């Protein structure tokens, strides 16, 4: 099975997300650092510190908090 890419060149299954920076993924979702921090329930300064860090280099507890938000998983739970 070939991986299916959306128009941004990022694999739908999330395989290409690890080499991107937090800032890139945050901007792709249209989130400010403050909004991401509120959704992940962390301080805004923590998000600003990791903005230029690649996702694969993040610590595991922080990665598990912000990855669903950066992937857009929270949008699946909105009752349309």
Q: Among residues of the chain, what percentage have pLDDT more than 90?
A: 55
Residue 21: strand, helix, or coil: strand
Q: What's the CA dihedral at 77, 51, 58, 21 to 10 degrees? A: 80
Domain ranges of the chain: 16-77
* Helix, coil or strand: residue 28: helix
Per residue in 42-65, pLDDT tens? Answer: 999 999 999 999 999 999 999 999
Model pTM score: 0.72
How high is the pLDDT of residue 11? Answer: 47
Return the pLDDT at 78. Answer: 64
Question: What is the second-level CATH architecture of the domain 16-77?
Answer: Orthogonal Bundle (1.10)
Phi/psi region, residue 21 (left: phi>0; alpha: psi -120 to 50; beta: rest), is: beta
Using alpha carbons only, give the angle 22, 2, 8 rounded to the nearest 5 degrees: 35
């Amino acid at each position: 099975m070939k991986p299916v890419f959306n128009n941004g060149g990022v694999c739908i299954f999330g395989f290409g997300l690890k080499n991107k920076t937090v800032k890139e993924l945050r901007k792709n979702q249209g989130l400010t650092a403050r909004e991401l921090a509120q959704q992940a329930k962390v301080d805004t300064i923590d998000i600003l510190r990791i903005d230029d860090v690649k996702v694969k280099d993040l610590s595991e507890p922080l990665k598990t908090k912000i990855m669903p938000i950066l992937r857009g998983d929270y949008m699946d739970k909105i009752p349309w």
